[in-house]
Amino acid sequence: MKILANDGISQTGIDALTADGFEVITTNVAQEQLVNYINSNAIVGLLVRSATTARKELIDQCPNLKLIGRGGVGMDNIDVDYAKSKGLHVINTPAASSASVAELVFAHLYGGVRFLYDANRSMPLEGETNFKGLKKAYAKGVELRGKTLGIIGFGRIGQEVARIGLGIGMNVIAADKFIDKASIKVSLFSGAAVTEEIQTQDMDSLLEQADFISLHVPSQKDYVIDKAAFSKMKKGAAIINAARGGVLDEVALVDALDSGQLSFAGLDTFENEPKPEIKLLMHDKISLTPHIGAATLEAQDRIGEELASQIASLLK
């Protein structure tokens, strides 16, 4: 049986699938050619990340397709319910990338409080001629330790973010519509561990208390953070979106940054991927990454292994 990993898959995933008797194809097929490729090559499983979509039209035109897999968490690029109604298996890897996304959140946070996102732009241009000026410009950094981190969406990734926050001495609070509380275990390299129970609260309370906010919610119809939400945040707070594009109002974000309501933002996801708005790309208070939350070697290995395990279980 042939599996098309159209957006790629780790070698560990390929090896695991091959060992189970599957043929893995990693050719990147253009979206408009995908239906023809799947049918002409007798593909039974389509694996995607965020670039390829699997909509109703593709599902209807590929009768031999038995499984669609998402290497990651969010499945808004797949018509999940429709696929299932047609008898297809739809799988994802909700646990595999949590640690990688959480670490990226803190890369943005640490870079933000020490102005690294801007210093890395300025140093190549002015480092030789204006070193003292830049030193003064970036001399008012703050520490994360002792500050309040608000996490909106307290599932696997949100809890992983909490784990790191607790580990570096932050006060961690959380809001979630479906989770009342969670026990967060912080493990040391030595094997010792400390467990902290976090009770979730309403979002307005979180917005008022948090020095830094991290979003970990699925794609949805309305903004989770809009103009009204920004106005409720502490003056000088900061926000990170490594969840999905469209959960944060980007126009309102720019306004909040320009007015000084927010000190900085970190964006890994955007409303208009793969063509983010130029105002975001050029803004001097935004730390930017191109949707790489799960893009670590370790996470990709875990994703490949988790996909392979599920595929073998469902199709063999």
| Strand 148-152, strand 212-215: pairing | parallel
The alpha-helical segments, DSSP class H, found in 20-114 are: 34-40, 56-61, 80-85, 98-113
Active-site option among 23, 89, 114, 273: 273
Active-site option among 49, 156, 291, 302: 291
Residue 219 φ then ψ, to 5°? -60, 140
**CA pair distance 270, 182, nearest whole angstrom:** 29
Element of type H or E holding 262: strand 262-267
**CA pair distance 106, 214, nearest whole angstrom:** 10
**CA pair distance 62, 160, nearest whole angstrom:** 38
In this structure, the number of other CB atoms found within 10 A of the CB of residue 104 comes to 22
Contacts of 173 (CB under 8 A, 6+ apart): 148, 149, 150, 151, 198, 201, 206, 209, 210
Tokens, residue 71: 């290497």
Of 275, 269, 271, the residue nearest 101 (C-alpha): 269
* 273 a catalytic residue: yes
Element of type H or E holding 309: helix 297-315
CA dihedral 150, 152, 155, 160 (to 10 degrees): -30
Residue written as token pair 């479906």: 178
Cα 81 to chain centroid distance, Å, stands at 22
Active-site option among 49, 70, 244, 302: 244
Catalytic site positions: 244, 273, 291
